[in-house]
Amino acid sequence: MEVINNLEITDTAYGGAGVGRSGDGRVIFVHNTVEGDIVNAEIYEDKKSFAKANLLNIIKPSVYRIKPECENAIHCGGCPFAHIDYEAQLNIKKRIILNQLRKYKHEIPNINIFKSSNKGYRLRATARSKEGRIGFYAQGTNKLIYADNCPAIKESLFEKMKNFACDNNLTGEIYAIENDENISLASIKSEHINIKNTLYFEGCNIDNKKYGISSMNFNTPYGAVPVTYKSFFQANRYLLNDFQKYAISLVSDHMDIVELYAGAGFFTCGLMQKGNVQACESEQISSNLGRKLGYNIKTMDSGKFLQNIKKCDTIFLDPPRDGADKKVIEAIKRIKPYEIIYVSCNPNTLARDIIRLEDSYKTYEFSMFDMYPDTYHVESVVRLIKVK
């Protein structure tokens, strides 16, 4: 394998790898590095214009490099920014967002940043287990790194996951989520399990066999939001309420609101206090949960849902990582709402969709929520207003 010596890391890519350039002009991506590092790296995947490399050693460390608090951080794939100073992490994420928007023709407003502690912030997590001992895969591999603790996961939740795996001699995958009242659910996919004790969780789904409760509520400033084993929910317990309140605050009062990708109603419950809300969610489990609490969420694809909308004042959308379907963007252009609130978990697709709307809409508010400290993931909330 080719070794690149004295490689200077000058940037960070979305995905977490440090970026350098070899003497022959190739872009080299190296995980566990940060801009300012000078390193030796060994290429493991070589393309015409770029290559991926493993870090061999650090010749000169960056001023942004810190010692990770977790002893597994270098090997575990869960926190790829754990070796980077926190303020530098935020600057990297902000720069990633701005780089994606470099072709946007309007001026980007100052980006507000909502920070988070990296200690015990995760209220949901997925781990692997082998013969009763849990851990996480190393970066880009199926190699299991065992963990007796995880600083990123809420301590009580991690203990439940660890003890369940141990007591039941689990080999397989365990996903678990815990609310602010320490009520928890778990979903288990086993290759081997000897079920002795499921009482660590109030509800447990083991290979599609259910024990205990099947759903629970999270209390939010605007009302309860239900979750089950399979429905999506945000992971950061420290920023959860601020995230919800801020996004809702961007919506003008007394509006006719259309909400897309509504899930089980995390934003719907707040939007209902702003005006008349019509909402849709394509995933039936989530939409059913929301309706049980009185949220007006139809089970329908967003594109089809918009076919029946002739006009509204506000469109609020929180799409998955793939962003809004092109048909959704075209429907928004047809409906011409006064404002659009776009919640995004992917800077790439957020930029793509905003640029698709730039002839009709301009960005007036932009905030970044660091929902996943020590990772490259970032949530954005943007308010767009129709260009007159």
The structure tokens listed for 44 are 């493991």
Three-state SS sequence of 237-295: CCCHHHHHHHHHHCCCCCEEEEEECCCCCCCHHHHCCCEEEEEEECCHHHHHHHHHCCC
Rounded to whole angstroms, the Cα distance separating 340 from 323 reads 14
Q: Which CATH architecture has domain 3-60?
A: Beta Barrel (2.40)
Q: Where are the domains of the chain?
A: 3-60, 86-117+237-386, 124-218
Decide: 18 and 8 in contact? Cβ < 8 Å. Answer: no
Rounded to whole angstroms, the Cα distance separating 200 from 198 reads 6
Maximum Cα–Cα distance for the chain, whole Å?
Answer: 65
Does pTM top 0.85 for this prediction? yes
Decide: 275 and 257 in contact? Cβ < 8 Å. Answer: yes
Decide: 365 and 383 in contact? Cβ < 8 Å. Answer: yes
CATH topology of domain 86-117+237-386: Rossmann fold (3.40.50)
Decide: 18 and 3 in contact? Cβ < 8 Å. Answer: no
The CA distances from residue 320 to 37, 247, 254, 263, 265, in Å, are 34, 16, 28, 10, 15
pLDDT per residue as tens, the chain (388 positions): 799 999 999 999 999 999 999 988 899 999 999 999 999 999 999 988 899 999 999 999 999 999 999 989 888 889 999 999 999 999 999 999 999 999 999 999 999 999 999 999 999 999 999 999 999 998 878 899 999 999 999 999 999 999 999 999 999 999 999 999 999 999 999 999 999 999 999 999 999 999 999 999 999 999 999 999 888 899 999 999 999 999 999 999 999 999 999 999 999 999 999 999 999 999 999 999 999 999 999 999 999 999 999 999 999 999 999 999 999 999 999 999 999 999 999 999 999 999 999 999 999 999 999 999 999 999 999 999 999 7
- Amino acid, res. 300: M
How far out from the chain centre does Cα 194 lie? 33
